[in-house]
Amino acid sequence: MLATIHRSIQAAREFAEVTSSWVVLISPSSEIARKECEAAFMGTLGPEDYFSGRTVVFSSGGKISLANCAEDVFVPRETTFSITFLNWGLASNKCLAAASKWRQSATRVIDVHASP
């Protein structure tokens, strides 16, 4: 499971770097799902990446952030961003409903699931 999440995060990173855009990775709010996503997220960081707690900024200008579905949207209103969903096999119905605020605020939902 962790390897699949890691590949998806890598694909989101590549998308953000190539397009110089912001991608927010949305995880389910369950403790297990959040921990798996956080571990995979931290595993994608390189020594040249600027990390500020939840967001990684790349030299290309692109960035990725990690949030869980229950969090409030933290991206400023005037800023465009895309979202992708990680580890949604562990999402509850409550989490699926909570994710709608992220869908409504994002410019687009992207599918970055990388094949093995």
What ranges do the domains of the chain cover?
Answer: 2-109
pLDDT (0 to 100) of residue 41: 84
Q: Which residue has the tokens 């500020």?
A: 52
Per-residue pLDDT of the chain (116 residues; tens, 9 = 90+): 677 888 888 888 899 999 999 999 998 887 888 888 888 888 888 888 888 888 999 888 899 999 988 889 999 888 999 998 888 776 788 888 888 899 899 998 887 654 43
* 92, amino acid identity: S
pLDDT (0 to 100) of residue 65: 94
| This prediction's pTM | 0.87
pLDDT (0 to 100) of residue 1: 63
